[in-house]
Structure 1
């Protein structure tokens, strides 16, 4: 079994043998590790209840909608809000194949310039490096498919019902804008719901990429071939 020290040693040896800058020598192996982690993370989250059934990444309703849901639940009146929350999570699960492709494209095109810091860093150093360089563009690119998926799931229609319920039961019509109907406000709020769902979905993927990186570093035996092939350029 190859432990973390052996993995680090192999990486350093590879750089010395190649006579290249560390970032150039280590980049293929780091990218291979991250591709493996991204595939595993999106596969995990893309199944039914990948988000909704996971307390670490489940997407709650944002802001006042979520607080209203909490107040109405004991009264048995939170049904539309509960349905909206479920549909948001189902949309995040359904969009994971697209997210996987975006993450893998970003990883493969990423220029790794801090190889030695990543390999000798924390158990999630590569994930943190990836996040710092790709989170914003991936979030932007994932917006349109998330919007389409939310629309197809019926989440926007449920949002209209939830807004009307909140307006009747909690007096939060003003949450959607002074002087506007709940229906009109809900339409405006769709973009905010979409942005929130995208941001939390991306957070979920990074969370599990980090978990996968930890496992690879601690016990890379099952994935050694792919990682070391990338590291040695074979």
Structure 2
């Protein structure tokens, strides 16, 4: 209450004081609290729009490259419980039912091959994300910079995911073919009386692998952004240190 009264009085006398002297007066009356709050709320607004734009692009590029390398390792998807890709639809239901009887081996194998295909496609997907970073506009840069700790990733995903699905699909299809997953779909369909659905199951598997593969990539890209924002050690360039501090 005391602070509210003092602030009201300050408003009345503000015209008689310069901006600098008024700021000094506030700090003298309210102490360090006002100074600290003001600094925390406006620190990033001292950065130029061009630096904010370039810094965000660099952070996302470095992050996407790191995530692409991480996910492309053997078991990058399959060995990670946070992003392991389950089988879609009817295949997943059948796998769950048969696992209770210890008979889900062929479907477990299919799931593993699908995840390894996602690992093979990860570097291509990461490169496409890096290309998509160009969609960030300078006008949005400062707002993103001062947003939440995954604001840049959320913005990028919202603006580019639909296009990325289309661009990633050929790489994922090729990886699924090379892994033997698509051939195994036909084998599984024959084994479990789903021959009439074989073509649909293939398309389902491809679409699902693309969607969940991108989920995994953005999941870790968000973590990379959080690290760059919060951990000075992750700010590996002068530009990142200038934009994010440290």
Task: Name the TM-score, length of structure 2 as normaliser.
Answer: 0.77
- The answer for the alignment partner of 1:215 in structure 2 is 227
Deviation of 1:27 after TM superposition, in Å, equals: 0.9
Q: Which runs of 4+ in 1 moved over 3 A?
A: 5-11, 226-231
Deviation of 1:74 after TM superposition, in Å, equals: 2.5
For residues 201 and 69 of structure 1, the distance between their equivalents in structure 2, rounded to whole angstroms, comes to 20
Q: Is this contact kept in 1: 2:135–2:156, CA < 8 A?
A: no
For residues 219 and 229 of structure 1, the distance between their equivalents in structure 2, rounded to whole angstroms, comes to 10
RMSD of Structure 2 on Structure 1 (CA) = 2.4
- The answer for the alignment partner of 2:149 in structure 1 is 123
- Within the alignment, does 1:156 sit opposite 2:182 as a pair? yes
Q: Which runs of 5+ in 2 are unaligned?
A: 1-37
Q: Deviations over 1:114-166 (max 9, x none)?
A: 22321121110111011011111111100011111101111011111222233
C-alpha distance 7-220 of structure 1, shift in aligned 2 (>3 A): farther
Out of 111, 132, 137, the position equivalent to 1:111 is: 137
C-alpha distance 226-144 of structure 1, shift in aligned 2 (>3 A): farther
- Within the alignment, does 1:12 sit opposite 2:12 as a pair? no
Deviation of 1:221 after TM superposition, in Å, equals: 3.1
For residues 206 and 34 of structure 1, the distance between their equivalents in structure 2, rounded to whole angstroms, comes to 11
For residues 214 and 98 of structure 2, the distance between their equivalents in structure 1, rounded to whole angstroms, comes to 29
Q: Which has the higher contact order (CA 8 A, sep 6+)?
A: 1
Out of 204, 210, 213, the position equivalent to 2:216 is: 204
- The answer for the alignment partner of 1:183 in structure 2 is 195
Q: Deviations over 1:24-57 (max 9, x none)?
A: 4411111111111111111111101110011111
Task: Name the TM-score, length of structure 1 as normaliser.
Answer: 0.80
For residues 238 and 210 of structure 2, the distance between their equivalents in structure 1, rounded to whole angstroms, comes to 30
